Structure formats: structure tokens, C-alpha cells
């Protein structure tokens, strides 16, 4: 129930409350919780670097795969060429064997094997001593010998 009476109401006190200066309230944000622009940039840069590293690894794997396939192709080509080389060597040996050369000489060139009657011996009546002839040395030959001796001495 409401009390109705003739109690006087003090309007001055209400005005005095209004006249009092209101306190200024400052709002301070917690700096630790506030996301910084530099943090976002750091995350972006870190993500970009991680992505680039991942792309580099994938690219490296692709290149390795290409190199391995190229190596296997070259290995198979090498084995084929080695087999072809072996067959060509055996074919060459069969064509250039001693019996083949003798047959070619007899049939195509008309040559015959030597008989003992065809061999002739020759005697030479000279001394078996070799004599060196001394040449006259001119200035240029002496300089050349000296230069060669110097080069030999220094090991060049």
C-alpha cells in the first residue's frame, strides 16, 4: 500500500544530487586479450611460409619421380645397347677371325701360304755397334738445352 500523507518532500536534495559531478568512467581493455594486427600478420606470414615449404616439398617429390622414371628408361636403354654391343662384338670376331682372314686372302686376293722353299736368308757384314755422330752445337741449341735442363730441374 502506498502511504499517503502530508509529509513534505525535499526537492532540494534531489537537485543537489543532480548537481554533483558525475564520475567519469574509463573503460580499459585488457591488452592481453585484444588481438593485435601484428599477430595477425605474423600468422599470415607463418602460414604463407608453411604453404610455400609444402609446395617446395611436393615439387621436389615430383621432380624426384621424373628423375627416377628417366633413370629407369635410361637403364633399360643401356641394357639393350649392352646386349647389342655383345652381339656385334661376336659378329665382328666371327668375321675377323684368323680362319676368315686366311680364307679371304686365298679366295679373293689369290694369296698362298709360304713354303720353306720361298724363305731366303740374308747376311749383313757390318759391326753391330752403333756410333752416334756428334753434331755441332750453335748458340740456339745451347740455349734450348739449358732451358730444358732448367725445366727438368724445377720439375715442369
pLDDT averaged over every residue in the chain: 82
Select, from the ranges 1-5, 84-88, 92-96, the one with the highest average predicted confidence (pLDDT). 84-88
Whether the Cβ atoms of residue 145 and residue 139 lie closer than 8 Å to each other: no
* Residue 133 or 148, more confident: 148
In the numeric block, which cell numbers belong to residue 66? 621424373
Percentage of the chain exceeding pLDDT 90 = 33
Tell me the pLDDT tens digit for each residue of 38-63: 888 889 999 999 999 999 999 999 99
Amino acid at each position: 500500500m502506498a502511504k499517503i500523507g502530508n509529509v513534505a518532500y525535499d526537492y532540494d536534495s534531489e537537485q543537489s544530487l543532480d548537481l554533483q559531478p558525475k564520475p567519469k568512467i574509463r573503460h580499459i581493455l585488457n591488452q592481453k586479450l585484444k588481438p593485435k594486427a601484428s599477430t595477425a600478420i605474423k600468422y599470415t606470414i607463418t602460414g604463407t611460409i608453411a604453404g610455400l615449404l609444402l609446395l617446395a616439398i611436393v615439387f621436389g617429390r615430383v621432380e624426384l619421380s621424373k628423375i627416377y622414371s628417366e633413370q629407369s628408361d635410361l637403364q633399360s636403354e643401356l641394357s639393350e645397347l649392352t646386349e647389342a654391343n655383345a652381339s656385334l662384338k661376336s659378329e665382328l670376331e666371327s668375321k675377323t677371325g684368323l680362319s676368315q682372314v686366311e680364307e679371304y686372302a686365298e679366295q679373293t686376293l689369290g694369296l698362298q701360304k709360304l713354303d720353306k722353299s720361298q724363305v731366303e736368308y740374308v747376311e749383313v757384314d757390318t759391326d753391330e755397334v752403333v756410333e752416334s755422330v756428334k753434331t755441332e752445337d750453335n748458340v740456339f741449341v745451347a740455349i734450348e738445352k739449358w732451358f730444358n735442363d732448367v725445366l727438368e730441374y724445377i720439375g715442369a
